[in-house]
Amino acid sequence: MPKLTINGREVEVPAGTNLIEAARALGVEVPHYCYHPGLSIAGQCRLCMVDIEKTPRPTIACNTLAADGMVVLTETERVKETRRSIMEFHLINHPLDCPVCDQAGECWLQIYYMRHGLYDPRMTDEKVHKPKAVPLGPHVILDAERCILCSRCVRFCDEVTGTGELGIFHRGDQSEIGLFPGQELANKYSANVVDICPVGALTERDFRFAVRVWYLDVTKSVCPGCARGCNVEVHVNRRRPHHNEGRRVARLKPRFNADVNKWWICDAGRYGFKAVDDKTRLREPFRREAGTVTDASWDEAIAAVAGALERYAPDEVGVLASPRMANEDLFALRRVLERRGIRRVAFRVPPAVDGDQDEILIRADKNPNARGAELLGLDGDAAALLAAARARQVKCLWIFDHDLLASAWPEALVLGALGAVETLVWVGANANATSERAHWVLPAAAWVEREGTYTNFEGRVQRLRQAVEPLGQALPEWEILGRVLEALGAGARPPRAERWFRELAAATPAFAGLSYQAIGDGGQMVRA
């Protein structure tokens, strides 16, 4: 392992580490645009110049490997002057339309100019004009004038997705980013180019002019879009409710996790947050009798559910849990089932269309927590449960989140089962065709409104965190189930998701030794 000195401090790094990463290990930032740890090295922007002892000229740090005894200086006058000159070069044809640019506030051109540039422009020539506001695909829009030709987006499409839609065309100051003829930037990971574009050349169409980035608050969470469980940041706008038509969640951004998703997320996951501020969100518990809906209080609703569980024999109750519920919810559900001795439980409802899967991130199972539901022992035969309901053996059916009418099951069979049960209780965040038929509907908090953990397909337990308050009276499922447990006489319920998890870890061998603290930001594996 080479040992080198950077700004007077010694550091030992694995062989093959470049100087940007070696400096990062010491907490020293070397400004750069084109270098990205997930992509090949282009050496294109020339911003990452550093001084190396016994080297006559400043050298680019991204393409220089750390060597034993190397002495590197990142803040000499010569390096600073080089950075200033290179940024002046980048900005020669830059339109500087920060006021209308969605990147403003998180733009590396702005940040490095404020930190290192601060020169007065010397160019008097007319700037070269290029196409503006050009949609490249369903999610990405290009402003070719703002591009600094770092080629990160091109390398992403070549190296990560292998789809190669983008290229740099023409020469000199006419060079511009564009699509190959007949192509569209429509691969399943296309919006990642927006994250890696250091400037505002590539921006999101969905987020366009929605909210200024400095109004956003950031919460670390996990994408609920498939069994991979990519780590994300949830960006919410609480400060200016008149923006973005009042929608609170403004966007999702990938969060680096070397073991799960690296730097990326797929587009389906990125834009999967729309249900959170959707019109279908349920806000109050209500009951439906002979087609008329009456609002109910939580106390009434909990009493009704607990009453039904007690009224029917354990064998007459069927529970359809959801692999979209968090581990805490599923564990609380298991407690309820154990308390009443209910055996008919399942969670797998076949989707109407098979999910797509690829070698990069996307998993065919579009549920974030099927593995957790398996480990908690809730895996029963859902089709048999439905058949029992149709045969009137199950009189009380309790469904979480699922829309059975949007599943692969034939509609007639589902309607037969739903129509046959005496009491249909439905818990979930967004109304659907199944909740339309329920006798009791209990509103659950959406995944960004609550704490909890998901277990991904590999068995990694990861935390989701609360980013916004629940809408209306919605409650997390663990709280709803805790109240039901209390109504069934089980004693005081755990008051927080973390306490539920502690009980879960103590009671389930696969989760033994895990805690929110141990899970941290990167997640922890369950015991195989």
Partner 1 sequence: MRALQRFYLVEVLSGVALTAAHFFRNMGRHAAHALGKKDARGAVTIQYPDERRPYSPRLRTLHRLVRREDGSPRCVACMMCETVCPAHCIYIVAAEHPNPEIEKVPARFDIDVGKCVFCGYCVEACPEDAIRMDTGILEFSSYTRGGMIYTKEALLALEPAGPDGHPRSPIPIPADRTP
Query: What track of x and - describes contact with ligand SF4 for positions 150 through 189 (by CB under 6 A)?
Result: xxxx-----------------------x------------
Rule CB under 6 A: say whether 98 interacts with ligand SF4: yes
The listed partner (ligand SF4, partner 1, none) that binds 242, CB under 5 to 8 Å by sort, is partner 1
Query: What track of x and - describes contact with ligand SF4 for positions 122 through 151 (by CB under 6 A)?
Result: ------------------------xxxxxx
Least distance (Å) from ligand SF4 to the CB of residue 249? 23
Distances (CA, A) of 488 to 305, 338, 339: 10, 11, 8
Candidates 7-15, 71-79, 127-135, 461-469; binding stretch for partner 1 (CB under 8 A) = 127-135
For the chain, the helix, strand and coil percentages under 3-state DSSP, each to the nearest 5: 30, 20, 50
Question: Which amino acid, 396?
Answer: C
Residue 215, token pair as written in the block: 């109004």
Q: Is 411 helix (H, G, I), strand (E, B) or coil?
A: helix
Backbone angles phi, psi at 112, to 5 degrees: -70, -30
**Residues 47, 66, 86, 101: which binds ligand SF4 (CB under 6 A)?**
101
Kindly tell me which of 22 and 265 has the beta carbon lying closer to ligand SF4: 265
Rule CB under 8 A: say whether 100 interacts with partner 1: yes
The listed partner (partner 1, ligand SF4, none) that binds 50, CB under 5 to 8 Å by sort, is none
Kindly tell me which of 35 and 447 has the beta carbon lying closer to ligand SF4: 35
* DSSP calls for 446-473: PGGGS-EEEE-TT-EEEEE---SPPSTT
Rule CB under 8 A: say whether 92 interacts with partner 1: no
Kindly tell me which of 95 and 269 has the beta carbon lying closer to partner 1: 95
* DSSP calls for 283-333: -S-EEEETTEEEE--HHHHHHHHHHHHHHS-GGGEEEE--TTS-HHHHHHH
* Residues 336-375 contacting ligand SF4, CB under 6 A: none
Least distance (Å) from ligand SF4 to the CB of residue 253? 16
The span from the CA of 91 to the CA of 116, in Å, is 13
Candidates 95-103, 235-243, 418-426, 511-519; binding stretch for ligand SF4 (CB under 6 A) = 95-103
Rule CB under 6 A: say whether 103 interacts with ligand SF4: yes
Tell whether the torsion through CA atoms of 136, 139, 143 and 146 is positive or negative. Answer: negative
Candidates 96-104, 378-386, 421-429, 509-517; binding stretch for ligand SF4 (CB under 6 A) = 96-104
**Residues 26, 65, 73, 104: which binds ligand SF4 (CB under 6 A)?**
104
Rule CB under 8 A: say whether 240 interacts with partner 1: yes
The listed partner (ligand SF4, partner 1, none) that binds 491, CB under 5 to 8 Å by sort, is none
Q: Are strands 396-400 and 231-237 parallel, antiparallel or unpaired?
A: unpaired
Contact between 417 and 390 (Cβ < 8 Å): yes
Q: Is 362 helix (H, G, I), strand (E, B) or coil?
A: coil
Query: What track of x and - describes contact with partner 1 for positions 45 through 84 (by CB under 8 A)?
Result: ----------------------------------------
Candidates 191-199, 307-315, 408-416, 499-507; binding stretch for ligand SF4 (CB under 6 A) = 191-199
Least distance (Å) from ligand SF4 to the CB of residue 417? 52
Residue 25, token pair as written in the block: 């290990």
The listed partner (partner 1, ligand SF4, none) that binds 243, CB under 5 to 8 Å by sort, is partner 1
The listed partner (ligand SF4, partner 1, none) that binds 423, CB under 5 to 8 Å by sort, is none
To 10 degrees, what angle do helices 497-507 and 477-487 make? Answer: 70
What DSSP element (H or E) covers 219? strand 216-222
Please give the size of the binding site for partner 1, defined by CB under 8 A.
Answer: 16
The listed partner (partner 1, ligand SF4, none) that binds 209, CB under 5 to 8 Å by sort, is partner 1
The span from the CA of 483 to the CA of 179, in Å, is 56
Least distance (Å) from ligand SF4 to the CB of residue 218? 19
Residue 478, token pair as written in the block: 């663990």
Rule CB under 6 A: say whether 199 interacts with ligand SF4: yes
What DSSP element (H or E) covers 502? helix 497-507
Contact between 189 and 360 (Cβ < 8 Å): yes
Q: Is 396 helix (H, G, I), strand (E, B) or coil?
A: strand
Contact between 423 and 440 (Cβ < 8 Å): yes
Query: What track of x and - describes contact with partner 1 for positions 172 through 211 (by CB under 8 A)?
Result: ------------------------------------xx--
Please give the size of the binding site for ligand SF4, defined by CB under 6 A.
Answer: 26
Candidates 49-57, 96-104, 280-288, 488-496; binding stretch for partner 1 (CB under 8 A) = 96-104
Contact between 17 and 65 (Cβ < 8 Å): yes
* DSSP calls for 75-140: S-HHHHHHHHHHHHHHTTT----GGG-TTTTS-HHHHHIIIII-PPP---SPPPP---SEE-SSSE
Q: Is 390 helix (H, G, I), strand (E, B) or coil?
A: helix
**Residues 24, 84, 127, 132: which binds partner 1 (CB under 8 A)?**
132
Least distance (Å) from partner 1 to the CB of residue 107? 13
Q: Is 401 helix (H, G, I), strand (E, B) or coil?
A: coil
Binding site for ligand SF4 (CB under 6 A): 94, 96-99, 101, 103-104, 107, 109-110, 146-153, 177, 197-202
Binding site for partner 1 (CB under 8 A): 97-100, 104, 131-133, 208-209, 212, 214-215, 240, 242-243
